Amino acid sequence: MVAVTGRVAVVTGGRRGLGAALVDELLARGARKVYSTARAAYIDERPEVVTAELEVRSAESVAALAKVAADAEIVFNNAGVLLPAALLTGGLESVIETFDVNVFGSLRMARAFAPILAANGGGALVNMHSVLSWLAGSGAYGASKAAAWSVTNSLRLELAPQNTQVVGVHAGFIDTDMVAAIERPKTTPAEIAARIVAGLESGDTEVLADDVTVTVKAALSGPVEHLTFSSAG
C-alpha cells in the first residue's frame, strides 16, 4: 500500500474530468506535489500543482515529462480517448488512434516511469480501465480498454520485483464530457477519484469504482454472449 501524504504524483489528463478530480483528491489527502498534464499548456495556480504538456502518443513527449518529473512516486495513467470507431466500419485511423492513446500511451508512460519509481522506493502505477473492458459492443474503445487491462495485469508481475504497486481501475459511466451523450446513470468524478485513491492507500490491486462494475465483474464467469454493452445497468 502507498500512502499519498507527502508523496509526489503524476496525473495524465489532469486538466478536467476525472483527472482534475484525482488532482483535487490527491491534494486533499496531503500530496506534496502533483504533476498534472494536458495536451496543451494551461495554468493551475495552486503551488502544489505543476502543469505540463503531454502527448502520450509521442515517446519524445513522454520522455520529456519523465525528465521533469524525476521525483515522481505515484503515476496515474488517466489520459484516454473515446472516438466513434466501430471495429469493422469505423475509420481505421480512429481505431489506431484509440489503441495508441488508451493502450500504448499508458505503456509508454509505464516504461518511462518504471525506473523513476524504482529509484524513488517503488511507489505505485495506477491505470484507468473501464467496465467496457469486459463488455462487447463499444467498438475500438472497449477493445482498447480490454487490452489495457491485460497490459496492467502483466505490468503488475513485471514491476513486483521493484516493489511498485500496480492498480487497475474499472469504472462505469462517469459524469464527464467524454460520455455526456450517453444516457446512463453516472457517478461524479469526485466520487470515483476518492474511491481510486482510497483503494491505492489500502493496497488494492484492482478498484471496482461503482456498482455496475461490481455487477459486471461478477458476471465474467457466465456465458460470454451476455457480456455486452447493452447489458450494463
- Evaluate if residue 174 carries a pLDDT over 80: no
Name the band, by pLDDT with cuts 50, 70 and 90, for residue 172. Answer: confident
Distance, CA of 233 to CA of 231 (rounded, Å): 6
pLDDT in tens, 22-78: 999 999 999 999 999 999 999 999 999 999 999 999 999 999 999 999 999 999 999
Tell me if the pTM is above 0.75. yes
On average, the pLDDT of the chain sits at 91
Cell of 55: 502527448
More confident residue, 181 or 104: 104
| Domain residue ranges of the chain, discontinuous segments joined by + | 8-231
Please give the pLDDT value at position 233: 47
Please give the pLDDT value at position 177: 59
Sheet with 8-11: list strands edge to edge.
49-53, 33-38, 8-11, 74-77, 124-128, 165-170, 206-208
pLDDT in tens, 75-100: 999 999 999 899 999 999 999 999 99
**CATH fold group of domain 8-231:** Rossmann fold (3.40.50)
Name the band, by pLDDT with cuts 50, 70 and 90, for residue 228. Answer: low
Please give the pLDDT value at position 23: 98
- Evaluate if residue 138 carries a pLDDT over 50: yes
HEC string of the chain equals CCCCCCCEEEECCCCCHHHHHHHHHHHHCCCCEEEEEECCCCCCCCCCEEEEECCCCCHHHHHHHHHHCCCCCEEEECCCCCCCCCCCCCCHHHHHHHHHHHHHHHHHHHHHHHHHHHHCCCCEEEEECCHHHCCECCHHHHHHHHHHHHHHHHHHHHHHHHCCEEEEEECCCECCHHHCCCCCCCECHHHHHHHHHHHHHHCCCEEECCHHHHHHHHHHHCCHHHCEHHHCC
Long-range contacts of 217-220 (CB under 8 A, 24+ apart): 217/134, 217/170, 220/134
Averaged pLDDT, 141-161: 97
pLDDT in tens, 177-209: 555 555 656 689 999 999 999 999 999 999 998
